[in-house]
Amino acid sequence: MAFKETKLPANAPAAKKALGWVDDRFPLTKLWNDQWGKYYAPKNFNFWYIFGSLAMLVLVLQIVTGIFLTMHYKPDATLAFASVEYIMREVPSGWLVRYMHSTGASAFFIIIYLHMTRALLYGSYRKPRELIWLFGFAIFLCLMAEAFFGYLLPWGQMSYWGAQVIVNLFGAIPVIGPDLSLWIRGDYVVSDATLNRFFAFHVIAIPLVLLGLVAAHLIALHEIGSSNPDGIEVKENLGPDGHPLDSIPSHPYYTVHDLFGVSIFLLIFSCVVFFAPEMGGYFLEYNNFLPGDSLKTPLHIAPTWYFTPFYSVLRATTADFMWVLMCFVAAYTVFIWLKSRLSFITKIVIAVIALLAIIGMLPQVLDAKFWGVVFFGGSVVILAFMPWLDHSPVKSIRYRPTWHKYVYAVFFLSFLTLGVLGTLPPTEGRTIISQVCTLLYFSFFLFMPWWSTMGTFKKVPDRVVFHPH
C-alpha cells in the first residue's frame, strides 16, 4: 500500500504538524487514545482504583533512581559497601537518590498489596479478567525476585546473612537442592560471584521481564475493560455512540483523579524520605549500616518486611506442627469427598496425592525444613488460583453476605500478624500464633469454593451505583 501523508493547513501550529508527521509513521496518538485518552472506564471508581497508576509512578521512580545509583555503585564484594557509603556521603544528592530508591522499594510493595486487596474486595480477578490477574501475579513474583536480588547489593550485615539464609532454603529440596543453592550463589558461600550475578539480575534481567509483564497487564486490562466496585460489566449497556452508558473517558476525568492520588502519595513519600527513611528499621535495617561479615552472625536474621508474612509460614513449619498439618490434609481430603461435586476419578486422584503428602510429612521421610519451603512457596503461588477458587455468584463484596466481610477481615488480620511475627525473633508463643495464622491463611483459599457460595446474597443492580465524590 502506498504511503499517504496527512495534509494539514499551511497555517497549522508547528506542534500539530510535528505530531501529524509522527502519526503518519508511528501510531502515537492512536496508542494514547486506546490506552488512556479515549479509554472509557466505569464512572464509579473510588480511591481503591488509584493504586494501579501509583504502581506505574513508583516503577518509573525505581528505574530512574536505580540508573543513577549504578553510575557509582561497585558490584564487587570488597568495594560494594564502601561504594554505597560513597554515594551517601560524597556524591551530590546521592543520599537523596539512595533513600528514594530504598523507600520506593517498600512503597512499591505497599501499593501492590493494596492493589491486590482491591482485587480481592471487588472480585477483579473473576471472569473475564483471569489473564489480567495472572499477569498481575507474575508481576508480583518479579517484584519479589527483584527485591531479593537487590537486597544483597548494599553488602551490609543483614543483606549478606539474609541472602545466605534464603539461598540455603533451596538446599532443603531433595536431590537437586544442594546443587540449586550452589548454582544460585555461584560459590559455596555468598561471595563476590553471588553479588555479581544478583547485580546482573537486579539491573538487567528482571526489569526487562517486569516491563514486558506490565505492558501485557495493561494491554489485557484495556482489551477487556476495567472492573468496578459493583462488579458489573459496563459493556453490557452501550449508548448510541457505542460506548458504555456507565463509563467516562479516562482523560481528563481519571487523569485529575489520579493526579490527586499522586499528590497525596508524593507528600507522604517525601515525608518518609526526608524525615524517616529507615522507618524504625523496617525500610532499612540498622544492621545493614554495618559491612557484611561472614564471621559475625547477627542475633536475629529476617528478610525485609514485605517478605515476612511468607517467611513466617516457613518458620511456623516445625517438626511438631507437621502432625497438625497431616491431620489438616486428611480432614480436607474427607471434606472434599463429602462436599465436592468433582468426579469420582478426580476424588481418587486427590486422595492418592493427599496420602502421598501425608507419608512424605512423616519425620522419617522428609524433614520439616523441606515442607517449610513447600508451604513458603505455596503461600505465594496459591494466589494465582483465585479466579478458579472463588465460586461466588457475585463479584463485589458490596453484594455478598455480611459475614463474608468477617472472613476477609480474619484473612487480612492473619496476613498482617504473620508479617509482624516475621520481623521478630521466634519464641514458643509466637511460633504457635504463626502456626494458627498459617492454617487460617491457607483455609481462606482452600475452603473458598464452598464458603464463597454460602449465605444470602444481595441483588446486584443492572447499572452501576454512582456516588459523586
Binding residues for a ubiquinone: 222
In angstroms, the CA 26 to CA 18 distance is: 12
In angstroms, the CA 75 to CA 83 distance is: 9
Cell 549504578 -> residue: 70
Helix/strand/coil for 291: strand
- State the first-to-last Cα distance of the chain, in angstroms, to the nearest integer: 50
Cα distances (Å, whole numbers) of residue 251 to 20, 33, 56, 247:
21, 9, 17, 12
User: E strands within 170-303?
Assistant: 247-249
Residue numbering of the annotated binding site: 101, 115, 202, 217, 222
Cα distances (Å, whole numbers) of residue 353 to 28, 65, 202, 403, 442:
53, 48, 37, 33, 18
The residue among 177, 159, 158, 161 whose CA lies nearest residue 169 is 177
The residue among 157, 145, 427 whose CA lies nearest residue 306 is 145
The 10 Å CB-count burial string (b at 16+, else e) for 333-354 is: beebeeeeeeeeeeeeebeeeb
Copy the grid coordinates of residue 140: 508480583
Cα distances (Å, whole numbers) of residue 56 to 26, 80, 111, 261, 318:
23, 29, 10, 13, 39
Amino acid at 393: P
**Residue 385 neighbours by CB distance under 10 Å:** 16
The residue among 87, 48, 47, 83 whose CA lies nearest residue 65 is 87
- Residue 7 gets which letter from DSSP? P
Does residue 313 contact residue 380 with C-beta atoms inside 8 Å? no
Question: Which residues, at least 6 apart from 256, have a Cβ–Cβ distance to it below 8 Å?
Answer: none
In angstroms, the CA 73 to CA 96 distance is: 15
**Residue 323: phi, psi to the nearest 5?**
-65, -35
In angstroms, the CA 407 to CA 451 distance is: 9
Helix/strand/coil for 249: strand
Residue numbering of the annotated binding site for heme b: 101, 115, 202, 217
